[in-house]
């Protein structure tokens, strides 16, 4: 209880501090600096990871590039700041980063007690388990008594406890600070199972000594809506970050892509005209230019393109669209209209 109160107090203090020091000014700061700082995952293939040359790739990385494209017409005007799960929210509270795009689950406590706001869901995820095939287990319900490797500072530990408790099963948790340590420990046989977001399971499996020796169990034990986070109190900045995601979704829904965006500038479809700024002043209303979405689509692509390139068919992860398909295709991705 004491700790909960302390957390809330830190959150409130951060919120007041954020309110005083940053209110309405993130966009101006970013423009003044000439780039934005994006809190990123340092090691999650498909979402955020730098290569040996320091070139970052991933769905979250591309999301930050899209914000840079909207503001500067240049997707390279972003600095990626590698952050562990544990340090990510503090980095945003302190102003070290302008936006956090690091496979972070939107939960009520994070949204209301840390002086921060989630702006949307750029990847619908859920927590799963991986085990070695030779363990002979085909369901998470057979994990009674198992040792489970997981990462500190994430939503996974509580979900794990909830799942085992509600199924009357015993387990032993072994928690590490980074995903690398966690997976290496599992791969070396220290745990029977490895648990994290399903997307993370697929990403980590690529690092296994023998990926084929492992299976992902069918149960998804939680909701992990992953999305970008900003400081509470700077509504203009939150609007920009929120609508960058919606612009990418609306572009996919309207069939506007990297390859055809120039052509689509001539479209007579009123929805496309509003998206691309050939009608209305929707960009100006959020503090950018009216061709903001054209910039995003030209430099980075629509949501579907970004998904396929980083985590879908065009990537080693080969994740299906599933819940991340557009609502028009049976998925959950749905953007409010630009009007
Ligand atoms: N979505 C969960 C988990 C996020 C998380 O940090 N997941 C791990 C495992 S997939 C990760 O990305 N680790 C990478 C690292 O710390 O290098 C949360 O927000 O707490």
Is any atom of ligand 1 closer than 6 Å to the C-beta of 103? yes
Is any atom of ligand 1 closer than 6 Å to the C-beta of 44? yes
Q: What is the pLDDT of residue 5?
A: 47
Is any atom of ligand 1 closer than 6 Å to the C-beta of 286? no
Q: What is the pLDDT of residue 230?
A: 98
**Residue 2 maps to a domain:** no
- Mean pLDDT within 165-188: 95
Share of the chain above pLDDT 90, in %: 91
Q: Which string of DSSP letters, residue by residue, matches 41-91?
A: -SSBTTTBEE-TTS-EESHHHHHHHHHHHHHHS-TT-EEEEE--TTTHHHH
Query: Residue 165: pLDDT band by 50, 70, 90 thresholds?
Result: very high
Whether residues 322 and 232 share a domain: the answer is yes
**Residue 114 maps to a domain:** yes
Residue 154 Cα: closest atom of ligand 1: 20
Whether residues 168 and 209 share a domain: the answer is yes
Q: What is the pLDDT of residue 196?
A: 97
**Residue 292 maps to a domain:** yes
**Residue 9 maps to a domain:** no
Which protein residue's CA is at the shortest distance from atom 8 of ligand 1? Answer: 179
- Mean pLDDT within 99-126: 98
Domain finish residue from 189, 222, 255: 222
Domain finish residue from 198, 222, 246: 222
Q: What is the pLDDT of residue 238?
A: 98
Whether residues 238 and 314 share a domain: the answer is yes
Query: Residue 51: pLDDT band by 50, 70, 90 thresholds?
Result: very high
Q: Which domain holds residue 192?
A: 127-222
d(CA 30, CA 36): 5
Which protein residue's CA is at the shortest distance from atom 19 of ligand 1? Answer: 104
Whether residues 254 and 314 share a domain: the answer is yes
Whether residues 195 and 317 share a domain: the answer is no
Cβ neighbour number for residue 248 with a 10 Å cutoff: 28
Is any atom of ligand 1 closer than 6 Å to the C-beta of 41? yes
Q: What is the pLDDT of residue 44?
A: 94
Residue scoring higher pLDDT (73 or 177): 73
Is any atom of ligand 1 closer than 6 Å to the C-beta of 100? no
pLDDT reading at 2 higher than 70: no
Average pLDDT of the chain?
94
d(CA 28, CA 328): 37
Whether residues 143 and 111 share a domain: the answer is no
Q: What is the pLDDT of residue 63?
A: 99
pLDDT reading at 286 higher than 90: yes
Whether residues 251 and 321 share a domain: the answer is yes
SS3 for 188?
A: coil
- Mean pLDDT within 116-120: 98
Is any atom of ligand 1 closer than 6 Å to the C-beta of 70? no
Strand order, beta sheet including 78-82:
78-82, 36-40, 99-100, 229-231, 116-118
Whether residues 243 and 218 share a domain: the answer is no
Domain finish residue from 196, 222, 248: 222
**Residue 290 maps to a domain:** yes
Q: Which of 103, 104, 130, 186 to mutate to test the pocket of ligand 1 (most atoms within 8 A of CB)?
A: 103
44 CA to middle of ligand 1, Å? 8
Whether residues 323 and 212 share a domain: the answer is no
264 CA to middle of ligand 1, Å? 38
Is any atom of ligand 1 closer than 6 Å to the C-beta of 104? yes
How many folded domains does the chain comprise? 2
Whether residues 144 and 274 share a domain: the answer is no
CATH number for position 136: 3.40.190.10
pLDDT reading at 314 higher than 60: yes
- Mean pLDDT within 108-126: 98
Is any atom of ligand 1 closer than 6 Å to the C-beta of 224? yes
d(CA 301, CA 296): 6
Cβ neighbour number for residue 31 with a 10 Å cutoff: 14
Question: What pTM did the predictor assign?
Answer: 0.92
156 CA to middle of ligand 1, Å? 9
Question: What radius of gyration, in Å, describes the C-alpha atoms of the chain?
Answer: 21
Whether residues 111 and 234 share a domain: the answer is yes
């Amino acid at each position: 209880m004491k700790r909960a109160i302390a957390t809330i107090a830190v959150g409130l203090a951060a919120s007041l501090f954020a309110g005083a020091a940053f209110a309405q000014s993130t966009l101006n700061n970013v423009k003044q600096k000439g780039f934005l700082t994006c809190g990123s995952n340092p090691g999650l293939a498909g979402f955020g990871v730098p290569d040996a040359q320091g070139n970052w790739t991933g769905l979250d990385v591309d999301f930050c590039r899209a914000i840079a494209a909207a503001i500067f017409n240049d997707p390279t005007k972003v600095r990626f700041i590698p952050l562990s799960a544990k340090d990510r929210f503090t980095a945003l509270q302190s102003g070290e980063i302008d936006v956090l795009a690091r496979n972070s689950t939107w939960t009520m406590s994070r949204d209301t007690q840390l002086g921060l706001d989630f702006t949307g869901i750029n990847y619908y995820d859920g927590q799963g388990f991986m085990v070695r095939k030779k363990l002979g287990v085909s369901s998470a319900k057979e994990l009674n008594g198992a040792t489970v490797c997981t990462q500190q500072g994430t939503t996974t530990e509580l979900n794990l406890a909830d799942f085992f408790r509600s199924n009357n099963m015993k387990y032993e948790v072994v928690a590490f600070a980074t995903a690398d340590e966690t997976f290496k420990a599992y791969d070396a046989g220290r745990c029977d199972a490895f648990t994290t977001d399903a997307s993370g399971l697929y990403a980590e499996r690529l690092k296994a000594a023998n990926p084929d020796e492992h299976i992902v169990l069918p149960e998804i034990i939680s909701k992990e809506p992953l999305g970008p986070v900003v400081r509470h109190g700077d509504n203009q900045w939150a609007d920009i970050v929120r609508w960058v995601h919606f612009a990418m979704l609306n572009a996919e829904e309207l069939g506007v892509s990297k390859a055809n965006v120039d052509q689509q500038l001539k479209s007579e479809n009123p929805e496309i005209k509003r998206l691309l700024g050939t009608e209305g002043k929707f960009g100006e209303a959020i503090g950018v230019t009216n061709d903001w979405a054209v910039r995003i689509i030209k430099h980075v692509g629509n949501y579907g393109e970004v998904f396929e390139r980083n985590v879908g068919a065009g990537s080693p992860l080969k994740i299906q669209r599933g819940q991340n398909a557009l609502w028009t295709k049976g998925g959950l991705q749905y953007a409010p209209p630009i009007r």
